[in-house]
Amino acid sequence: MTATIPGYLYGEADRSPVTLEELADLRASVLLGPEDEQALRLAGDVLEDQVEDVLDVWYGFVGANPHLLAVFATADGKPDGHYLDRVRARFGQWILDTCRRPYDQAWLDYQHEIGLRHTTAKKNGTDQADAAPYVPLRHVIALIYPITATIRPFLERKGHSPEQVEAMFQAWFKAVVLQVALWSRAYADVREW
């Protein structure tokens, strides 16, 4: 899947200014440990054939909220379908990367790339889009909730025990918070990040 996703540069992104030590500190702050990594791998197996369904839910949410859809719209206020499609493909891969990739230097580098693609530094450039110049950080942070809350029904669909579903859900929640914290680096004053 990854070879055919335009703009997906995992393993090719510039080095993140965030250090592996800072990543370890953030992981500790969100309580993301080895048992969560195991639960995320299981979640990846559970979600793999449901990615498009998850994206349908998320895109439905964005489409139902004009203030969110606006970041994909051109100056005339019309959503750029080509841009939405290209982002969707990477968003689907992000689900699997969240669950399956080791949280190492390559992963850290790509998290910074994702953060930059939400800011004026790189928004629109990857897809040659003519949309809003950035995604407001407040919305990136606020989207932690729907991106987390809506994943549970998908984790429940494969017959795992309630304890396994809860472990996958909590690990997903931690991983999403961790990534948003890392993406915020692209928005933040270096000293205060």
Q: How many CA atoms lie within 13 A of 96 on its CB side?
A: 15
H/E element holding 146?
helix 144-149
116-138 per-position pLDDT tens digit? 999 999 999 999 999 999 999 99
**Mean pLDDT value across residues 96-109:** 98
Domains and CATH numbers, the chain: 20-186 (1.10.490.10)
134-159 per-position pLDDT tens digit? 999 999 999 999 999 999 999 999 99
CA distance 183 to 161: 33
**According to the model, what pLDDT value does residue 3 have?**
60
| Cα–Cα separations (whole angstroms), residue 176 to 24, 41, 82, 108, 133 | 15, 14, 26, 13, 23
17-54 per-position pLDDT tens digit? 999 999 999 999 999 999 999 999 999 999 999 999 99
96 close to 51: Cβ distance less than 8 angstroms? yes
| DSSP strands (E only) in the chain | none
> Which of 38, 69, 63 shows the shortest CA–CA distance to 160?
38
Measured in whole angstroms, the distance separating CA 123 from the mean position of its chain's CA atoms is: 15
